[in-house]
Structure 1
Amino acid sequence: MAVTVRPAVAADIVVIMSFVRALADYEKLLHEVEATEADLAGHLFCETPRLFCDIAEQDGAPVGFAIWFYNYSTFRGRHGIYLEDLFVVPEARGLGAGKALLRALAQRCEAQGLARLEWAVLNWNAPAIAFYDGLGAGAQTEWTVRRLTDQALVSLARS
């Protein structure tokens, strides 16, 4: 049973939101999900989207997704892809859906002359880390991700 990857369409929004919630639950972050179907649909399926989603299917049934956007490297002088979310339903893990989603993004990078494909992984997520290591994805240990949100973001904006 081959896994196929296709771009998401507006009719996929319920499935996409279910994958977002399932990923958040797996990452123990379900309490942080504020996005709604309308929020995601408004960004994914607008006239000029800046957010994109690919769906992995097995026998025509959605089994996973990748949500991504373009970033830019001033050092490389080219765009790249930042993978925001990658999720495969537990019962489909090991069937190649995750690799198929990443392969599709790597193929997009190659076809468009993009410099890199990058993402973040939680330090405790050993299965994901092992999967990424198996693909040859190197950890960027010299970088620490920093983030401003909520009141800290507002405080800086108003200072």
Structure 2
Amino acid sequence: MSLTVSIRKGTPTDLAAVHALIVELAVYEKAPNEVTNTLEDMQRDGFGEQPIFEFYVADSEEEGIVGIALYYTAYSTWKGKMLFLEDIVVTERHRRKGIGRLLFTAVVEAAKAGKYKRMKWQVLDWNEPAINFYRSIGANLDGEWINCNLSEEQLLQH
């Protein structure tokens, strides 16, 4: 069965499907218990008084939302305003059908429309399909920078 998808900006009514895809991504990335984000958090953070993220969905008449691309604005001291692509997720049964590419293109178009100076994202070093895709579009895969973070618990200790 061929699946027809349209790419559109996400809305609050999409959040349950978006959250389900985030959980699916966590399972794929071998971290099923790491998702602590809730629908309430996403409602507040995406559609509250000070929205801090936006997203596109790949929507199909047949199955509903089968993919997402979530992003936000960040800032580079050297370059200025940049768009950070947090995640592209396509449900497993529809991967390798070009849906991720459609979502990626939508985010690129948003970056161009917003006059961002740079677009950034991360990829796990074992995710060969994603790495190959990013190489195919000419992206710079920079092995020089080390990712750093503090968990919520670590933040409370400082």
Q: TM-score, normalised by structure 2?
A: 0.90
Cα–Cα, structure 1 residues 150 and 44, in superposed 2: closer, same or farther, change >3 Å?
A: closer
2:78 alignment partner AA: F
Report which of the two has the higher share of helix.
1
In the TM superposition, residue 80 of structure 1 has moved relative to its aligned partner by: 1.1
- Equivalent pairs counted in the alignment come to 155
Question: How do residues 42-57 of structure 1 correspond to structure 2 at under 5 angstroms?
Answer: 42-57=44-59
The separation in 1 between residues aligned to 2:4 and 2:97, in whole angstroms, is: 8
The separation in 2 between residues aligned to 1:150 and 1:62, in whole angstroms, is: 30
The separation in 1 between residues aligned to 2:16 and 2:45, in whole angstroms, is: 14
1:52 alignment partner AA: E
Indicate which of 125, 128, 132 corresponds to 2:127. 125
Q: TM-score, normalised by structure 1?
A: 0.89
8 A contact 1:5–1:54 mirrored in 2: yes
Question: How do residues 145-156 of structure 1 correspond to structure 2 at under 5 angstroms?
Answer: 145-156=147-158
8 A contact 1:21–1:33 mirrored in 2: yes
User: Structure 2, unaligned stretches of length 5 or more?
Assistant: none
Cα–Cα, structure 1 residues 45 and 150, in superposed 2: closer, same or farther, change >3 Å?
A: closer
Q: Which residue number in structure 1 is paired with residue 66 of structure 2?
A: 63
In the TM superposition, residue 99 of structure 1 has moved relative to its aligned partner by: 0.8
Indicate which of 76, 96, 105 corresponds to 1:73. 76
Question: How do residues 1-159 of structure 1 correspond to structure 2 at under 5 angstroms?
Answer: 2-59=4-61, 61-76=64-79, 78-156=80-158
8 A contact 1:105–1:117 mirrored in 2: no
In the TM superposition, residue 94 of structure 1 has moved relative to its aligned partner by: 2.2
In the TM superposition, residue 2 of structure 1 has moved relative to its aligned partner by: 4.7
Residue identity over aligned pairs, in percent, reads: 32
2:96 alignment partner AA: G
Backbone CA RMSD of aligned residues: 1.6
